[in-house]
Amino acid sequence: MLIGKPSDIPSSEITPRDAYEDYVNVRRSERRSFLRGAVAAGAAALGAERLGELFDPRIGALAGTKLDTVKSPLTTTGEDLTSLNDLTHYNNFYEFGVQKNEPGQNAGALPTRPWTVKVEGKVKTPKTFDIEALLKLRPLEDRVYRHRCVEAWSMVIPWVGYSLSEFIKQCEPLSTAKYVQFLSYYDKKVEKWASDTSIFWPYSEGLRMDEAMHPLTLLTFGLYGEVLPNQNGAPVRIAVPWKYGFKSAKSIVTVRFLDKQPPTTWNDQGPSEYGFYSNVNPTVDHPRWSQKTERRIGLPFYAQRKTTLMFNGYADQVASLYTGMDLRRNF
């Protein structure tokens, strides 16, 4: 994602995206084979179980705690899941560092209990929900979704949660509420890395009310049947599978109902690069790269490149939300 102004960097100095990805992939596979050797030697010395503990990728006091879940009719089928290891080492959570591996190292500092979500704005009465009450509001469902980042990589994630609409009903929004804004936790003493960026904190995202009420929009508490690791946005985040991943705010502390479109983090950073709607759309390129294809994290190098689908493959369910809209202008 863009931090600072692109005009600061002469185009001659920007490595073409494909060359960079090829470089990273080659380096990664070299590193993996080296690591495999080292891990095998270590396992023999330490015993495999102890080694598993040392390399547990889930960070956070409650990460890894099992959740009671039920199957969801809204799950995506026919996709291989991204491994827990990749889901927890390749993250965007800029409050804990801008490199993909940094949230997995630094987000342990996020205090996920006690945790409350404040509801304010155009509602009958402002309320505060405790995370324990939110966890019990509805049966938690296992829902696999494709996850497409605006940076043209993707994953397949087995989330745990329930439709955000169930929570919104409890918030009793007024008829004047047209948008919902989500604000993430922000404490600069805990999230020391945040001040290295030009982002105006806290992280803010928003949805139009009908998007927020769509059954696919998931209030998310876990992945792989367990409490969310901190690096993935514990203890509660959003997952909107037909939009680029940055619409899915992590570690939410405030939900605000508004009559106007809220300011959002990436749209503020680069309005020509990150639109408010941010629907996955292979026909609208990012100004600096194509959105026609994506790189599926965790697959062997030769199998990574995939064709990006309109609305990330969820068009049958969500295209009607945008009938009559020019999706090039409202990107």
Rounded Cα gap, residues 177 and 156, in angstroms: 32
Stretch that binds ligand MTE, among 26-34, 85-93, 301-309, 311-319 (CB under 6 A): 85-93
Q: Note whether 127 and 171 are within 8 A (CB).
A: yes
Contacts of 57 (CB under 8 A, 6+ apart): 84, 85, 88, 89, 104, 229
Nearer to ligand MTE by Cβ, of 119 and 183: the residue is 183
Output the residue with the shortest Cβ distance to ligand MTE. Answer: 245
Rounded Cα gap, residues 40 and 292, in angstroms: 39
DSSP codes joined into one string, 183-242: EE---TTT-GGGGGS---SSPEEEEEHHHHHSTT-EEEEEETTEEPPGGGT-S-EEE-TT
Nearer to ligand MTE by Cβ, of 122 and 134: the residue is 134
By CB under 6 A, residue 149 contacts ligand MTE: yes
Q: Which helix (H) or strand (E) holds 127?
A: strand 127-130
Q: Note whether 29 and 305 are within 8 A (CB).
A: no
Rounded Cα gap, residues 157 and 90, in angstroms: 13
Nearer to ligand MTE by Cβ, of 37 and 111: the residue is 111
Q: Note whether 276 and 261 are within 8 A (CB).
A: yes
How many chain residues are in contact with ligand MTE, going by CB under 6 A? 17
Binding residues among 180-219 for ligand MTE as defined by CB under 6 A: 184, 203
Nearer to ligand MTE by Cβ, of 95 and 142: the residue is 95
Rule CB under 6 A: choose which of 58, 60, 94, 312 binds ligand MTE: 94
Q: What string marks each residue from 226 to 265 as x (binds ligand MTE by CB under 6 A) or -?
A: ------xx-----------xx-xxxx--------------
CB of 156 to ligand MTE, least distance (A): 11
CB of 250 to ligand MTE, least distance (A): 4
Pair of tokens at residue 159: 């989330």
Nearer to ligand MTE by Cβ, of 122 and 244: the residue is 244
Stretch that binds ligand MTE, among 15-23, 92-100, 132-140, 163-171 (CB under 6 A): 92-100
Rule CB under 6 A: choose which of 72, 76, 82, 91 binds ligand MTE: 91
Dihedral angle over CA of 301, 90, 92, 306, nearest 10: 20
Pair of tokens at residue 164: 């955000």
Interface positions with ligand MTE (CB under 6 A): 1, 91-95, 149, 184, 203, 232-233, 245-246, 248-251
